[in-house]
Amino acid sequence: MTGLSDPFNRPINYLRISVTDRCNLRCIYCLPPEGISLLPHREILTYEEIAAVARLAAELGINKVRLTGGEPLIRAKLSELVAMLAEIEAIDDISLTTNGILLKQYSAELKQAGLKRVNVSLDSLNRDKFKRITRHEKLDEVLKGIEAARACGLNPVKINMVVMRGINDDEIVDFAKLTIDIGWHVRFIELMPFAADNPPEGHSTGDKTGINTQFMSAKEIKKRLGSLGRLEPSHPITGNGPAKYFRFPQAAGTVGFISPVSQHFCFNCNRLRLTAEGKLRPCLLSDHEVDLRQPLRSGASPEELKKIITEAAQSKPQKHQLTKGKVSGKRLMSQVGG
């Protein structure tokens, strides 16, 4: 096999880059209300360093990158990074995962710089509940951001909803209805237990299997949608990610399900992650990481850096261990990027 691969012959062609560990929301399943330590700026990779890593990764076989965080849009001049990545010929897809608050402000310049599409995380359409989940009153900004991104052609804009029983599961049908009414592409994501050593408030990592009481499986979520009609399987709208797509017969938009817990998709995993401080993380749900920042800053050659990236890919575990009760312990999701 040519290109980057792991020991299980999975081709690795997708790099998720976290550009910051800071966020302008504090979602209850992602961050505690206060008191986490943030990286000082000097510890965060510069845009030049990120682009250098992306260039080497592209030489090895990466052709898709996604920017994430923290909240990527709070890092200054993100479109400059997008433009640097867009210059890398082998990278043909640059996307962004955001909470959408700043999208209205930045959509046009991001598009101009070469961003192809965005995913917006939105867990409630109800003002009070949005505030309860995110601890901020920013629903209107997010909705305006989604419309701005669609209007700019950052399509398809995918809306990602993390479903939590007893918190926002009563809105599953409302979200799905928007695939019919206004053509949204909505993806329902299973809640993952994360940061076992330091769980966010209100998000107990629960029993040994890590499945807590707020967890709702994709199967159950899908069943709830029966009231809207028959869901028919649909082709993926873009990419080859883990979502399974469906469509209501009369809908312009799609409904996707992402089930990292109930039906893991590790056998198809094509990802490496780069944290804001320059660690390569081969698996979202394992704490194993490989440092790139120190070699980058101490003058390692391109060949040495490529060797580190290749070795990181080669250290990917076959699958995550959630069902055996092993969850990622050290980092919060905001420190990895989802």
Residues that bind ligand SAM (CB under 6 A): 23, 29-30, 68-69, 71, 97-99, 121, 160, 162, 189, 191-192, 194, 333-334, 337-338
Task: Look up residue 197 and give its DSSP letter.
Answer: T
Q: DSSP string spanning 20-72? A: -S--S---TTT--SS------GGGSPPHHHHHHHHHHHHHHT--EEEEESS-G
Give me the residue label for tokens 């917006």: 120
Nearest residue to ligand SAM, scored by beta-carbon proximity: 338
- CB-wise, 23 or 312, nearer to ligand SAM? 23
Closest approach, Cβ 72 to ligand SAM, in A, equals 6
Contact 56, 8 (CB under 8 A): no
Closest approach, Cβ 110 to ligand SAM, in A, equals 14
Alpha helices in 91-249 (DSSP H): 103-113, 127-134, 139-152, 172-181, 218-224
Task: Please tell me the distance from the alpha carbon of residue 107 to that of residue 279, in angstroms, as a whole number.
Answer: 28
Q: For residue 216, what are the CA distances in angstroms to 85, 92, 166, 230, 286?
A: 37, 35, 10, 21, 22
Cα–Cα–Cα angle for 232, 236, 242, rounded to 5 degrees: 105
Closest approach, Cβ 98 to ligand SAM, in A, equals 5
Closest approach, Cβ 164 to ligand SAM, in A, equals 9
| Rg for the chain, CA atoms, rounded | 19
Contacts of 307 (CB under 8 A, 6+ apart): none
Contact 82, 110 (CB under 8 A): yes
Closest approach, Cβ 281 to ligand SAM, in A, equals 13
Closest approach, Cβ 258 to ligand SAM, in A, equals 9
- CB-wise, 5 or 334, nearer to ligand SAM? 334
- CB-wise, 130 or 248, nearer to ligand SAM? 130
Closest approach, Cβ 191 to ligand SAM, in A, equals 5
- CB-wise, 95 or 160, nearer to ligand SAM? 160
Contact 274, 15 (CB under 8 A): yes
- CB-wise, 55 or 66, nearer to ligand SAM? 66
- CB-wise, 60 or 327, nearer to ligand SAM? 327
- CB-wise, 71 or 141, nearer to ligand SAM? 71
